[in-house]
Amino acid sequence: MIIDLSTPNTRAFAKQISTASLGDHSYIVVVGEEAVAIDIQRDLDRFEAVLDGVDANLVAVFETHIHNDYVSGGKLLAEEHGATYVLPANTGATYDHTPLPDGETIPVGGWLVRAMHTPGHTHNHTSYVLESPQGPVAIFSGGSMLVGAVGRSDLLGPDHTERLLADQYASAHRIADTLPNPSIVAPTHGTGSFCSASDVADTTSTVEREKLQNPALIAPSLDAFALSQKMGYKAYPVYYKHMAPSNLLPLGAPPREDLPTITRLDQVGEATIIDVRPFEEYAAGHLPGSLAFPGSTDDAVYMGWTLEWDSPVVLVGKRSEVQEARVHLIRIGWDAIVGRIEPDSLDLMADGPLATTPFITFDELEGAEGTLLDVRDPVEHLMGVIPGATLVHLAEVSVNPSAYVTGDVLIHCQGGYRASIVAGFLEAAGLQATVIYDDLENYKGQLVSP
């Protein structure tokens, strides 16, 4: 997406680069013959391709905050281009960088990028205001003001949440009170990000529009805002606890060499076998004990949520399927991908028959035997549950299946994806799992309150 920021005398625009696997947006901002980059992930090829096409010299790379959801590639990009690497002030980062306190600026193409301290998502969070000689034109707001939402304030733990909620409220009001109404709001967190406190409606906005829809700006008080935010906080991936520490240390470039092809089970060693094929293919036949993480924008998120962090994994799938999953894992700093298995090799590798996973629709649920397991988030459960279902979050039952179920199990979520992941863990624990691979909207019965 191109965001036009030009004035009569200056070519200026921002290229928004979305990362669906994280629910995030990065930016290459061009002013005249110079460019800056904001909130970049580790897979740099796609950012280099954009830079190659904009005919501008990269002069600075910015981070709005020490990220909790991915490992940054910003320092690597800055080093490759000899650009200044800019962080918010007082982050504690141990590598060379330029801290930019509130109000300080970095020039780009005759314009300025001005730091605006906007705590709330994290304590040091900083947004960056792009200013032409005539005044502000855009704010790159990271995890502060989002589109009809704000970044969540609970990721640093309960001891920080109340203070950060108050800061987030104040930061949104500062943005609204400081910037002209037409100013573009270009956030980092968007649809699908666990860093957002609520659903995000679009990828960009304006200050004027946010005054009409942003929860921090339309709430009657700080207390009302804080309560509404906390009610919407869903569980977030446990791998997040590894992200900020990783982003405070120098991290090398991700591995680029081809993965070795594995053809025998004894080559797997201690690695976990992860099947990234479409669920229907996994269900029709997979290696016993292997886990299902069908390729999607969510695959790495749920791997990081349920598996031992950065433990060795072997990926099953076609070359393109494996490569996509590998990129998703690399973005969260998971480099321990030690091999790949071609689907055509599964029959030859197995000691006996391939395992299968039965799946049904909600129309077929009546008469099916087993414990009904609803693995959605507790916030989703509040919208209604099937009578008699056992309610447990995907991550909890995956890590310790026997604590929640015994015998035959029927698993559902909202659309079937999370249920397919849980099925692999239950099978590995010796349980018989049937996946309801269907949208919950197709359930014909009456949902009830949990």
Same fold, 265-349 and 359-442: yes
pLDDT tens for residues 374-419?
999 999 999 999 999 999 999 999 988 988 888 899 999 999 999 9
Within 32-144, strands assigned E span: 34-38, 57-62, 84-88, 98-100, 105-108, 111-117, 126-132, 135-142
Here the tokens at position 260 are: 């070795």
Mean pLDDT, rounded, of the chain: 94
Nearest alpha carbon to residue 62 among 10, 160, 139: 139
Residue 2 has what DSSP assignment?
E
Asked if 67 contacts 244 with a C-beta cutoff of 8 angstroms, the reply is: yes
Residue 341: its pLDDT value, please?
Answer: 98
What is the C-alpha to C-alpha distance for residues 156 and 204, in angstroms, rounded to an integer? 26
pLDDT tens for residues 302-334?
999 999 999 999 999 999 999 999 999 999 999
- Lookup result for tokens 């982003």: 247
At what angle are helices 222-232 and 158-178 packed, to 10 degrees?
120
What is the C-alpha to C-alpha distance for residues 280 and 265, in angstroms, rounded to an integer? 23
pTM, 2 dp? 0.93
Residue 367: its pLDDT value, please?
Answer: 84
What is the C-alpha to C-alpha distance for residues 332 and 341, in angstroms, rounded to an integer? 22
Task: Enumerate residues 6+ apart whose C-beta is below 8 A from 212.
Answer: 218
Residue 276: its pLDDT value, please?
Answer: 98
Report how far apart, in Å, the C-alpha atoms of 350 and of each of 56, 328, 450 are. Answer: 54, 28, 42
Here the tokens at position 409 are: 């199990």
Here the tokens at position 161 are: 């949440």
Q: Is the CATH code 3.40.250.10 the one for domain 359-442?
A: yes
pLDDT exceeds cutoff 90 at 87:
yes
Residue 351: its pLDDT value, please?
Answer: 85
pLDDT exceeds cutoff 80 at 192:
no
Domain boundaries, the chain: 2-247, 265-349, 359-442
How do strand 184-187 and strand 205-206 relate by DSSP bridges? antiparallel
Taking residues 427-434, report their average pLDDT: 92
pLDDT tens for residues 325-358?
999 999 999 999 999 999 999 998 988 899 999 9
Q: Is the CATH code 3.40.190.10 the one for domain 265-349?
A: no
Here the tokens at position 28 are: 């290459």
pLDDT band at 201 (very low <50, low <70, confident <90, very high): low
Report how far apart, in Å, the C-alpha atoms of 278 and of each of 80, 282, 302, 354, 417 are. Answer: 37, 7, 15, 16, 10
pLDDT band at 450 (very low <50, low <70, confident <90, very high): very high
Q: Which CATH class is domain 2-247?
A: alpha beta
pLDDT band at 179 (very low <50, low <70, confident <90, very high): very high
Residue 206, classed as helix, strand or coil, is strand
pLDDT band at 199 (very low <50, low <70, confident <90, very high): low
pLDDT band at 263 (very low <50, low <70, confident <90, very high): very high
Asked if 415 contacts 380 with a C-beta cutoff of 8 angstroms, the reply is: no
Taking residues 57-80, report their average pLDDT: 97
At what angle are helices 74-81 and 45-54 packed, to 10 degrees?
40
Nearest alpha carbon to residue 38 among 126, 152, 101: 126
pLDDT tens for residues 17-33?
999 989 899 999 999 99
Residue 441, class by beta-carbon neighbours within 10 Å (0-12 exposed, 13-18 middle, 19+ buried)?
A: exposed
Nearest alpha carbon to residue 300 among 138, 71, 118: 71
pLDDT tens for residues 68-78?
999 999 999 99
- Lookup result for tokens 């500062």: 174
